[in-house]
Amino acid sequence: MSLASLVRKLEQFVRLSPMDHVILNRAASERVRHFGPRVDIVREGDKPKDVHLILSGWACRYKQLEDGRRQVVSFFLPGDICDINVFILREMDHSIGTITPVSIADLPHEFFDHVAARHPRIVAAFWWETLVDAAIQREWTMNLGQRTALERTAHLLCEIWLRLRVAGLTRGDSCDFPLTQADLADAAGLSKVHVNRTLQELRANGLIVLKGRTLSVPDLDRLMRAGLFNPNYLHMEHEGQQLDAATTDAAVG
Amino acid sequence: MSLASLVRKLEQFVRLSPMDHVILNRAASERVRHFGPRVDIVREGDKPKDVHLILSGWACRYKQLEDGRRQVVSFFLPGDICDINVFILREMDHSIGTITPVSIADLPHEFFDHVAARHPRIVAAFWWETLVDAAIQREWTMNLGQRTALERTAHLLCEIWLRLRVAGLTRGDSCDFPLTQADLADAAGLSKVHVNRTLQELRANGLIVLKGRTLSVPDLDRLMRAGLFNPNYLHMEHEGQQLDAATTDAAVG
DNA sequence: TGATTGCAATAACGCATGTTACATCGCACA
DNA sequence: TGTGCGATGTAACATGCGTTATTGCAATCA
């Protein structure tokens, strides 16, 4: 039930007040739902109702062609929020499915109305989350369009690693890693067979240790170099110079 | 100076009041700048200052690797807005460059503050624009990850065609088309040579006529089928059942 | 304990797309 | 009227990745 991951992530951007914490806590404990692994939470064509906050487990957003080709367009890790403000759109243009068992909190319309009026720093933090999401999607475009299979896979692993680390979900140089090679293939736009070859190569180069459902990254810098990975798009402002409320209120509008 | 394209596009989603029009008009006529073709408007690493509204001309957002590989991650057409709320981020993670000569209006911070407080329908329309942008980026991920060169190119042309049409920039089955084959290659993640081959094939199939800087699409349905194109992600709500102010105010929060 | 199932690993082969090189076209400008 | 240059077109060849098929392994369950 790791609301901790959300807070930890948001707080690298804005410092939330004790009241903000209370608000988030309440929102994350009402209307919680649980899903098994490998099921759909939302389907393309649905009319979106709520925003979802991932409390625990991994999920993904994906699109599918009629002939079955499937592309994972993003991963959701604990603490991630799915599509703030989908309220505005009439119909989902993609699906969201679980990878592991997942717990989510549904955040209704009214939560955002309430927050908008009274908790500007939460709003700012959510804006930041939204913008980072968009930046990640652009980077995936770059990844699929320009990087080789090896670079692309390394890049994807770096991104997941850093996002897990910010969420407090790494231990030393290891983390849980529930993705199958088929999942990686759908995300990287590669065949399963070639993902397998590529992982072998990463292993042979000592860049990763991946066994069971655990990933270790013995030397992140080397993996980042292999993936031509530049973390700037994640906009992690870990230098500690966070925006204060006055600035963010104005920026959010 | 086509503010008309912006208004036309936004109005398929919300009906703007006469006052809204005045506001947009004013914003689009102060602080206008002009650029030549093939120059950068914004560079990766810049600190973003204003939001940009494209008044005329085509531009693109792109990212580049150190070795020169370049990926166009989106195109900007007249009436498009670049990155609402980039205020929040510290540093640009991509560049924006012109393709043709371009005129833009810089929308400062204060414009959004003003609008946020007093013009909820403009806010709603901007939200919609932002969400559609995100949906387009996801679709590009799909495009690069799963579609073949032919499908991918056809899909890209369909998208541009529909976006131009909504902006009122098509004439019958033709439109201006200033992209070079190199531009298409950078956007589609293909080599120039293969883009050339692919365009030949589209021409041979009678799906497009592309000569000089003009594109004609004699049969959009066929082109859409060739590109496995499903327009749902553009969220064009042309059925005319637009949201009214009450709904949208709440949705925007 | 054996059957079933899902995932990972490996091999052989094919093809879509990349690469390099050069020719042609048309427009801008001297 | 030529000259240069960016864009398009084409050809020959190379290769990275996809496809299909099979095997092994480990977990789960009858």
| pLDDT tens track for A85-137 | 788 899 999 999 999 999 999 999 899 999 988 999 999 999 999 999 999 99
Stretch B125-135: mean pLDDT = 95
Stretch B117-131: mean pLDDT = 93
Q: Which residue has the tokens 């957003």?
A: A61
Q: Do A88 and B115 touch (CB under 8 A)?
A: no
pLDDT at B43 over 50: yes
Q: What is the dihedral of CA B245, B250, B251, B253, to 10 degrees?
A: 120
Stretch A202-230: mean pLDDT = 98
Q: Do B85 and A142 touch (CB under 8 A)?
A: no
Stretch B43-54: mean pLDDT = 93
Strand C nucleotides below 7 A of a protein CB? 6-12, 16-21
* B198 in Cβ contact with B149 (< 8 Å): yes
If pLDDT is split at 50, 70 and 90, which confidence band does A1 have? low
Residue B17 to residue A249: CA distance in whole angstroms: 27
Task: Work out the angle at residue A47's Cα, subtended by the Cα atoms of residues A46 and A53, and round it to the nearest 5 degrees.
Answer: 90
pLDDT at A242 over 80: no
Q: Can you give the pLDDT at residue B157?
A: 98
Q: Which of B141, B148, B152, B186 to mutate to test the interface with A (most CBs of A within 10 A)?
A: B141
The class (CATH top level) of A3-252 is: mainly beta
- Phi, then psi, of A229 in degrees rounded to 5: -90, 120
pLDDT at B184 over 80: yes
Which residues of chain B lie closer than 8 angstroms to A70, CB-CB? 146
Q: Do A146 and B70 touch (CB under 8 A)?
A: yes
Q: Can you give the pLDDT at residue A245?
A: 37
CA of B191 to C1' of D14 (A): 15
Residue A53 to residue A30: CA distance in whole angstroms: 12
The CA-atom distances, in angstroms, between B180 and each of A242, B40, B152, B195, B205 are 43, 17, 16, 10, 21
Least confident range of A56-70, A94-108, B79-93: B79-93
If pLDDT is split at 50, 70 and 90, which confidence band does B217 have? very high
If pLDDT is split at 50, 70 and 90, which confidence band does A48 have? confident
Digit-coded pLDDT (tens) for A175-189: 999 999 999 999 999
Instruction: Determine the residue of chain A that is closest to B123 in CA distance.
Output: A253
Q: Do B116 and A253 touch (CB under 8 A)?
A: yes
If pLDDT is split at 50, 70 and 90, which confidence band does B86 have? confident
Residue A76 to residue A62: CA distance in whole angstroms: 11
Q: Do B91 and A232 touch (CB under 8 A)?
A: yes
Q: Name the more confident of A237 and A208.
A: A208
If pLDDT is split at 50, 70 and 90, which confidence band does B48 have? confident
Three-state SS for A74? strand
Q: Can you give the pLDDT at residue B225?
A: 98
pLDDT at B35 over 80: yes
Helices (H) and strands (E) in chain A, counts: 9, 12
- The average confidence (pLDDT) of chain B is 92
Instruction: Fill in the DSSP letter of residue A243.
Output: B
Q: Can you give the pLDDT at residue B241?
A: 43
Q: Can you give the pLDDT at residue A238?
A: 57
Q: Do A250 and B137 touch (CB under 8 A)?
A: no
Instruction: Determine the residue of chain A that is closest to B124 in CA distance.
Output: A88
Q: Tell me which residue in B146, B232, B243 faces A189 most closely, judged by beta carbons.
A: B146
Q: Which of B44, B87, B93, B235 to mutate to test the interface with A (most CBs of A within 10 A)?
A: B93
Pairing of strands A174-176, A170-171: antiparallel
Stretch B35-60: mean pLDDT = 95
> Which two tokens mark B213?
């800087």
Q: Can you give the pLDDT at residue A25?
A: 95
Closest CA to A63 of A85, A39, A96, A101: A96
Residue B29 to residue B22: CA distance in whole angstroms: 11
pLDDT at B240 over 50: no
- Phi, then psi, of B60 in degrees rounded to 5: -150, 155
DSSP H helices, B119-148, are: 120-146
Which residues of chain B lie closer than 8 angstroms to A124, CB-CB? 88
> Which two tokens mark B249?
């105010």
> Which two tokens mark A149?
């299979």
Min CA distance, B93 vs chain A (Å)?
5
Query: Which residues in range 186-245 of chain B are in contact with strand D, contact meaning CB within 7 A of any of its atoms?
Result: 192-193, 196-197, 199-200
pLDDT at B109 over 80: yes
CA of B251 to C1' of D14 (A): 55
Min CA distance, A112 vs chain B (Å)?
6
pLDDT at B55 over 60: yes
Beta bridge partners of A35: A102
Total CB pairs under 8 A between chain A and B: 144
Whether A144 CB is under 7 Å from strand D: no
CA of B139 to C1' of D4 (A): 41
Q: Name the more confident of A12 and B139.
A: B139
pLDDT at A7 over 70: yes
Within its chain, how far is the Cα of B145 from the centroid? 21
Query: Nearest CA to the C1' of C25 belongs to which residue?
Result: B212
Which residues of chain B lie closer than 8 angstroms to A147, CB-CB? 65
> Which two tokens mark A14?
């804005």
Q: Do A88 and B124 touch (CB under 8 A)?
A: yes
- According to the 3-state scheme, what is the secondary structure of A217-239? CCCHHHHHHHCCCCHHHHCCCCC
If pLDDT is split at 50, 70 and 90, which confidence band does B220 have? very high
DSSP B46-107: PPP--EEEEEES-EEEEEE-TTS-EEEEEEE-TT-EE-TTGGGSSS-SSEEEESS-EEEEEE
Stretch A152-160: mean pLDDT = 98
Three-state SS for A160? helix
Within its chain, how far is the Cα of B94 from the centroid? 16
Strand D nucleotides below 7 A of a protein CB? 6-12, 16-21
* A94 in Cβ contact with A73 (< 8 Å): yes
| Nucleotide closest to B183 measured between CA and C1' | D7
pLDDT at A253 over 70: no
> Which two tokens mark A84?
């703030």
pLDDT at B246 over 70: no
A189: left (phi over 0), alpha (psi -120 to 50) or beta: left
Residue at A18: amino acid letter: P
Residue A153 to residue A60: CA distance in whole angstroms: 17
Q: Which residue has the tokens 């007040």?
A: A17
Q: Can you give the pLDDT at residue B49?
A: 86
Those residues whose beta carbons lie under 7 A from strand C are A 180-182, 193, 196-197, 199-200; B 148-150, 189-191, 193-194
Q: Can you give the pLDDT at residue B80?
A: 98
Stretch B122-145: mean pLDDT = 96
Sign of CA dihedral B89, A123, A24, A112: negative
Q: Can you give the pLDDT at residue B238?
A: 58
Q: Do B89 and A113 touch (CB under 8 A)?
A: no
pLDDT at A250 over 50: no
Residue A73 to residue A46: CA distance in whole angstroms: 18
Q: Do A131 and B228 touch (CB under 8 A)?
A: no
> Which two tokens mark B193?
């040579």
CA of B192 to C1' of C16 (A): 15
